[in-house]
A and B are shown apart, each in its own frame.
Chain A
C-alpha cells in the first residue's frame, strides 16, 4: 500500500474513530429516552380510558334512569300486561334511540325479558345478565354479560349495565347499558389515541385504533373476566429514532468523507516531495544523472530535496568529467596503441631503407638484389600501416550511443537470425523473458557480432560450439557468449580488450576493444572468464530498465 494511501487512511481513522465509538452510545441513550416516553404515554392512555369508562358508567346510569321515567316506557310496560294486541318484541328499540344505549330491555322482577331492543328474540326468556344488573343498586352500572344478536345466533358479550324500576309500573324494570364492543373500543381508542382491545381470557372480542411499531400496553380489568388492553404505538418514536440515527450515520459518513479528503490532501502534501524524489532517483538510475526535484517542500524533506538536487548536479558534473577523463585516457591508449602499432612496421621499413640507401651510396652491386628482396617486405609493412590506420580510424568514428528500451531476449533471437551462424557451429541459446535495458540497438548488435566472431575465430580447428544466454541478475541485465575455444590465458585477460592485442592472425585487434567501449558507454561492463567447457566466457552486464517505453521506441528505432 502506498504511503499516501496509508497516511490518508490514518488521518481518516483518527478523525472518525471517536465518532464511531460515541455513535452507539448516543443511539442507546436515544432509544432509552424514547422508551421512557412511550411508557409515560401508555400510562396516560390508561388513565384516559379508565376515566372515560367511569364516565360511561355514569352516563349509562343516567340514561337508564331517564328511560325508566319516560312516559313511553310506562305506556309500553302497561301494554305488556294489557289484554289487547301485545307490542312488538323490539318495541324497546325506540326507547333506546338517542340515549346512547346499545343494550335495553324491559324485564320483570325475575329477569324475564318482556321487550328487548338488543335481542328481541329473547322476549319471554330469563336473561341471567339482566339478573346481575337487577341485583345492584338502581341506576348504578356494573359489568355484566348479556346476549346480543349475531349472524350465528345469540352471543354473550360484556357490557356495562344499570337497572331501574319503571315508574308507575311496579315489577317492570328497565335494564340498559353499553356493550364493550367495537364501537366503544373505537370511541376509547380515539379518545386515548391508542389501540384498545376488549379481551375475555385469550379471546379478542373487539379491537379498535392502532398501535404501530413497538408498543407499550396496559391492562384494565372491567369485571366478569373481561379486560381492556390499551396499547400505545411507538411508531412515531421509532420514526424519530430512525431519523436521528440516520442523521447520526450521515454525520459520521460526512465526517469520514471529509477526513479522507483532508487526509488525502495532507498525505499528498507530505508525500509529494518524497514521490518526486523517488521518481528522480529512478531517473538517475535510468541514466538521467542530472535529474532535479522541483516539488516544494519545507523542513527536513526540503533539506532532503535540496541535498538530492545538489547531489545529482554534482553527480552529473562528475560523470561528465569522468567521461571526459575516460575519453582522454582512451585517446591516450589509442595514441599509445597507434604508436606501438606504427612503430613495429616502421622499424623494418627504416632498416630496409637504410640498407638500400647504404648500398646505393656505395654503389654496391647487390643494390638491385637488395632492392628486389626488400621491396615486397616494405610494401607489406606499408599495407600493414595502412590497415592499422584504418582500424584506428574506425574506432575513432564510433558514434555516441542512442539508447532505446530493448528487451534482450527477443532482440538477441532476432540478431542471431540476422547474424548468419557458420555451418557446423552448434549454437545453444537461453533467453529469459522480461530482461529490459536502455541501449543502442545497432551498437549492441555490434557487441554480439564481435563476440560471436571472436568465438568462431577462436575455435578454428576445434569442434564448433557456442552458447548465448540472456538473464537478469538483480538490477543488471546479463548477456553471455561462451565458446569451446582454447580460452583466454589468465595472464592475457587484463589486456585482451586493449587495442592491437589481437591474438589471431589477420585480426585487427579492435573487435573486443570496440565491444568493451560500447559496454562502457552504456554504463555497463564486459568481462571475460573461463567457460564451463574451458573456452572463453564473455559477460556483458548492463543496467536494467523497466521496459515501459520499449514498444513505441523500439518500433520507432
Chain B
C-alpha cells in the first residue's frame, strides 16, 4: 500500500506517492483491537488536545495534511502567493473526499470545523491561523457559503502556515455535538466498531475494522500478550522510543488573582519530582514556555523565598480538566505544596469547554491547561500566546513571520519565549507524549511529527 498522504483538501498536483518498504508484506483485513487504559473512548468530534485522544480520533477525523516525523510537513493544501504582499493560501477540497453520510467535503466544512474549535474549548489552536487576515469574519462568511475553495489571505508573511494546517485539531467537521463527523480511514458503524471508509482519497487502510476496548492496565497488558489487543493507548511503551513530547501543560492564571507568594511557590516547585511522581510518562519538566524539544531549557530563575501569605488573600481557585487523569493528580500536588506554604487552594474539576468558560468569565483564578503544540517553534509559540493572551499574537507573530530562514526564525522564537515567560500569566509545568504500547502483531505503525500514532500503513500479521 502506498504511503498515505491524507489529502482531504488537496490540489491535484500535490498528490504524493511513495513506496513503503514493508508494503509488499502487508496483509489486508483483520480487526485492529486497541485497548484504552484509563481513557474514555474518544468521540469523533472530541477535541484532540491529548496525544492518545488525538491518535484515536485521527482514525475518524483527519486534518488537511500530515506532518511527518522530522517535522517535515507534507503539505496537503495548495498555496499560491498573489502579488508581492503577504500572499494568500487557497485550499481546494480534493475530489473523492466524503463524509460518512456520503456528502462530499466542501470548503465550508473546513471553515465550520475551525470555527467549532472555540466552542469546544480549543480556542488556543486558532492561534495557528492567527496570520490569516480577519480570520473570524472570513470563517463566518466561508461557513455560510458554498464555495469550491477556501481562500485564506495572510495579514503578514507566515512561512509555517502549511505546517500549522496539519495540526490534528484543525479538522473539517460536518454537523455538531454528538452527531459531528469527520473524514478518516474509518467510520463509525453500528455496534461501536469502526469500519473502513472509502471516502478518503488516498485509499483504504489494511485492517478491515478497528475496535476500542476499555481495559485496566493489568488486563490490557495480558490481552496485549495474548494478541487479543494489538495496541494499548494510555500505557507507556517499553521498547518503542517515545515520540516528541509536545503535549504541554501550564498553570494559566488571571493576573492579580493568584497571590504573588503562591506564584513564587509554583516557580520554585521541583518540576522533576512533579513529573516523576505525578505525571505518567513519557513526560518531561518544562521549565520554559515551550517544550524542551522546541526550546532549550533556560536556567530557571533562582526561587525567591516565598513570604507568608497575607491573611484573607491566600486563597484562590484552581480548575482542571476532569477528562485528563494526570490533571487531578497534578492539581492536588500543587494544592498540597501551596497548602504547606500557607495558601488555600480550592480545586474545581470541569470539562474542557467548562474550563474555558470559567477562565473567560473569571470564576476561576487559575486553571491547568494542556495543549498539543506543533513541532515547529513559531506555530507552537502562536498556540501558547493564544492560550495566554491572544492580543499578543498580532504584536509578536509579524516579526517572526518576516524571518524567512527557518533556523533564524526558530532562534528568534526561543528568545521571545524566554522573554515573554516573565510576563505571561502562564506557569509552564511539563510536557508529555503519547503513551502507547504496541503488540508484536501490529506492523508498520509509526509516529508523526506530533508524536501521534499513525496507523495508515499498519497491518496485522494474523
Contact = CB atoms under 8 A, between A and B. Distances in A.
A123 B278 contact: yes
Contact of B336 (A88, A151, A153): A153
Contact of A151 (B273, B329, B346): B346
A114 to B, nearest CB: 9
B335 A154 contact: yes
Contacts of B280: 85, 88
User: Secondary structure at chain B's binding surface: helix, strand, loop or mixed?
Assistant: helix
A153 B338 contact: yes
B251 to A, nearest CB: 15
A231 interface: no
B281 interface: yes
B278 A89 contact: yes
B356 to A, nearest CB: 22
Contact of A90 (B236, B273, B329, B338): B329
Contacts of B333: 89, 121, 123
Interface string B323-354: 00000010011011011100011110000000
A122 B335 CA distance: 10
Contacts of A120: 278, 329, 332
B416 interface: no
A279 interface: no
A149 B328 CA distance: 12
Among B277, B333, B339, B347, find the residue whose CB has the most chain A CB atoms closer than 10 A. Answer: B277
Interface range on chain A: under 10, 10 to 19, 20 to 34, or 35 or more?
A: 10 to 19
B285 to A, nearest CB: 15
B276 interface: yes
B132 to A, nearest CB: 41
A123 B275 CA distance: 12
A119 interface: yes
Contacts of B276: 86
Nearest to A147: B336
Interface string A331-371: 00000000000000000000000000000000000000000
B277 A86 contact: yes
B273 A121 contact: no
A124 interface: yes
B273 A124 contact: yes
The contact size tier of chain B is 20 to 34
A125 B273 CA distance: 11
A491 interface: no
A94 to B, nearest CB: 9
Given A120-B329, A121-B333, A121-B335, A153 B345 contact: yes
B326 to A, nearest CB: 9
A152 interface: yes
A121 B329 contact: yes
B333 to A, nearest CB: 4
Nearest to B235: A85
Interface string A93-125: 000000000000000000000000001111111
Nearest to A151: B346
Contacts of A122: 336
B327 to A, nearest CB: 12
Interface string B227-244: 000000000101000000
B336 A125 contact: yes
A143 to B, nearest CB: 23
Contacts of B332: 119-121, 149
Contact of B346 (A88, A121, A152, A154): A152
Nearest to B273: A124
Contacts of B281: 85
Contacts of A123: 277-278, 333
A84 B273 CA distance: 15
A222 B273 CA distance: 37
B273 A152 contact: no
Interface string B276-300: 1110110000000000000000000
Contacts of A85: 236, 280-281
Contacts of B336: 119, 121-122, 125, 153-154
A108 B89 CA distance: 61
Contact of A124 (B238, B277, B347): B277
Contacts of B338: 153
Contacts of B236: 85
Nearest to B282: A85
A149 B346 CA distance: 11
A154 B238 CA distance: 35
Most buried by B among A88, A90, A121, A152: A121
A85 B335 CA distance: 24
Contacts of A152: 344-346
A126 to B, nearest CB: 11
A84 to B, nearest CB: 8
Given A88-B329, A120-B329, A153 B339 contact: yes
A154 B347 CA distance: 11
Interface string A141-169: 00000000101111000000000000000
Contacts of B346: 151-153
A19 B332 CA distance: 71
A122 B344 CA distance: 16
Contacts of B340: 125
Nearest to A149: B332
B216 to A, nearest CB: 9
A89 B340 CA distance: 19
Contacts of B347: 151
A88 B234 CA distance: 13
Contacts of B335: 121, 153-154
Contacts of A124: 273, 277
A119 B344 CA distance: 16
Nearest to B325: A88
26 contacts: A85-B236, A85-B281, A86-B277, A89-B278, A89-B333, A90-B329, A119-B332, A119-B336, A120-B278, A120-B329, A121-B333, A122-B336, A123-B277, A123-B278, A123-B333, A124-B273, A124-B277, A125-B336, A125-B340, A149-B332, A151-B346, A151-B347, A152-B344, A153-B345, A153-B346, A154-B339
The 9 closest A-B pairs by CB, nearest first: A121-B332, A153-B339, A121-B336, A121-B333, A85-B236, A153-B335, A85-B281, A123-B277, A154-B339
Interface of B: 236, 238, 273, 276-278, 280-281, 329, 332-333, 335-336, 338-340, 344-347
Interface of A: 84-86, 88-90, 119-125, 149, 151-154
Given A86-B276, A121-B335, 14 more contacts: A84-B238, A88-B329, A89-B329, A89-B333, A119-B336, A120-B278, A121-B336, A123-B278, A124-B273, A125-B336, A125-B340, A153-B336, A154-B335, A154-B339
